[in-house]
């Protein structure tokens, strides 16, 4: 693949949704200035790629007008790409992909897997950019609600076969083999059991031989890990755990809202796999300067609910 694919460790793709209604961050970055400033924040935190989207696929979402999607996405792509950043564009429309590639996008991320717009794969082939193809079985691209009919062979076989077919379609449309990225489409017409089965079966998807992107960040099945649903933002630690395990399984990239957590997670996986300290870090076995306990100096500390507890007590 191009520079998008060149790396040893799992990449961290930071999400910038220039939308009003994405389930976790809708309405937060839906102006040019807010989107640019958020993207710069994620880049400063170490994101390798920024994924810019102008259309939400959350349950109940409606398609946005094509001109509106272009107006939301393309100026943001142009500005960030001009500064040399790797920008992915999350779109199901060939026209948006084409305008984004012209503006400097390095990757097209199509959650429909090239099925929503018959021109998408041809546009990606002509632009010679990588395209991420996602498993989403639906008869109405737009809202990720509902669950596709269960495949009797199980979800992993279903997704693996479908992704393999999408890759064949892309090759037939002229997309280079090294420009194909696959994604199991966690949460896209799937229930929590499906999503966990797919994470468990990730090696089988990776075995198809293409780079694999994992998008679990803040999704309901992650937020409801303990049974009852938490706020999406409260799922960042669990998301990071999935990032570490995805990286360890050989995923090419993780698509996340919280970059620092997942960057640490994929670095842990990298160091674990390497069996030595990364990037010249001291191997002398010392502790971070100051020690962990000194940070807890105040006599009273507040927990997340604002309740005070004596500092130094065990968790």
Q: CB under 6 A: which stretch of 29-37, 180-188, 241-249, 258-266 binds ligand PMM? A: 180-188
Q: Is 15 in the site for ligand PMM (CB under 6 A)?
A: yes
Largest Cα–Cα distance of the chain, in whole Å? 66
CB 131, min distance to ligand PMM, A: 10
- Binding string, residues 246-285; x marks residues near ligand PMM by CB under 6 A: ---------x------------------------------
59-91 as b/e, with b when 16 or more CB fall inside 10 Å?
eebebbeeeebbebbbebbbbbbeeebbbbbbb
CB 216, min distance to ligand PMM, A: 7
From residue 267, alpha-carbon distances to 132, 184, 233, 276, 290 in Å are 23, 23, 22, 12, 23
**For ligand PMM, the closer CB: 11 or 255:** 255
Q: Which of 309, 287, 314 is nearest to 298 (CA)?
A: 309
Angstrom distance (rounded) from CA 268 to CA 241: 10
Q: Is 116 in the site for ligand PMM (CB under 6 A)?
A: no
> Which residue of 111, 116, 156, 256 would you call a contact of ligand PMM, by CB under 6 A?
111
> Which residue of 35, 108, 213, 251 would you call a contact of ligand PMM, by CB under 6 A?
213
CB 213 within 8 A of CB 15: no
Return the CA Rg of the chain: 20
CB 62, min distance to ligand PMM, A: 14
The residues assigned a catalytic role are 219, 255
- Binding string, residues 51-90; x marks residues near ligand PMM by CB under 6 A: -----xxx-------------------------------x
- Report H helices in 191-310: 192-200, 202-206, 220-223, 236-249, 259-274, 291-294
Q: Which residue sits closest to ligand PMM, CB atoms considered?
A: 215
**For ligand PMM, the closer CB: 58 or 162:** 58
From residue 190, alpha-carbon distances to 52, 165, 205 in Å are 23, 19, 16
Q: Is 22 in the site for ligand PMM (CB under 6 A)?
A: yes
> Which of positions 27-56 make contact with ligand PMM (CB under 6 A)?
56
Q: Which of 127, 66, 121 is nearest to 95 (CA)?
A: 66
Q: CB under 6 A: which stretch of 22-30, 65-73, 135-143, 283-291 binds ligand PMM? A: 22-30
Q: Is 133 in the site for ligand PMM (CB under 6 A)?
A: no
From residue 75, alpha-carbon distances to 44, 89, 128, 238, 282 in Å are 20, 12, 21, 33, 43
CB 59 within 8 A of CB 145: yes
Spacing of C-alpha 168 from chain mean position = 23
Q: Is 239 in the site for ligand PMM (CB under 6 A)?
A: no
* Residues near ligand PMM, by CB under 6 A: 15, 17, 22-24, 56-58, 90, 109, 111, 132, 134, 183, 185-186, 213, 215, 255
């Amino acid at each position: 693949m191009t520079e998008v694919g060149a790396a040893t460790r799992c990449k961290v793709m930071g999400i910038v949704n220039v939308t009003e209604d994405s389930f976790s961050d809708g309405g937060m970055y839906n102006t040019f200035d807010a989107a640019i400033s958020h993207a710069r924040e994620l880049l400063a935190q170490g994101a390798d790629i920024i994924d810019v989207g102008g259309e939400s696929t959350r349950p109940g979402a409606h398609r946005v007008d094509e001109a509106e999607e272009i107006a939301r996405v393309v100026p943001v792509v142009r500005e960030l790409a001009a500064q040399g950043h790797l920008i992915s564009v999350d779109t199901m429309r060939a026209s948006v992909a084409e305008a984004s590639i012209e503006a400097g996008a390095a990757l097209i991320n199509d959650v429909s897997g090239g099925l929503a717009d018959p021109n998408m794969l041809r546009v990606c082939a002509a632009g010679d950019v990588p395209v991420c193809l996602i498993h989403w079985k639906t008869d109405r691209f737009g809202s990720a609600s509902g669950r596709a009919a269960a495949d009797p062979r199980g979800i992993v076989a279903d997704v693996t076969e479908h992704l393999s077919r999408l890759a064949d379609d892309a090759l037939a449309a002229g997309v280079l083999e090294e420009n194909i990225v696959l994604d199991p489409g966690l949460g896209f017409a799937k229930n929590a059991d499906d999503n966990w089965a797919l994470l468990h079966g990730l090696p089988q998807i990776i075995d198809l031989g293409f780079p694999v992107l994992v998008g679990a960040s803040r999704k309901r099945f992650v937020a409801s890990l303990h049974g009852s649903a938490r706020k999406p933002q409260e799922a960042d630690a669990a998301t990071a755990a999935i990032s570490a395990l995805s990286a360890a399984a050989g995923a090419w990239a993780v698509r996340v809202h919280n970059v620092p957590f997942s960057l640490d997670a994929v670095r842990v996986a990298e160091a674990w796999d390497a069996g030595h300290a990364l990037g010249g870090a001291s191997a002398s076995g010392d502790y971070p300067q100051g020690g962990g306990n000194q940070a807890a100096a105040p006599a009273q500390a507040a927990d997340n609910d604002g309740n005070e507890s004596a500092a130094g007590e065990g968790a």
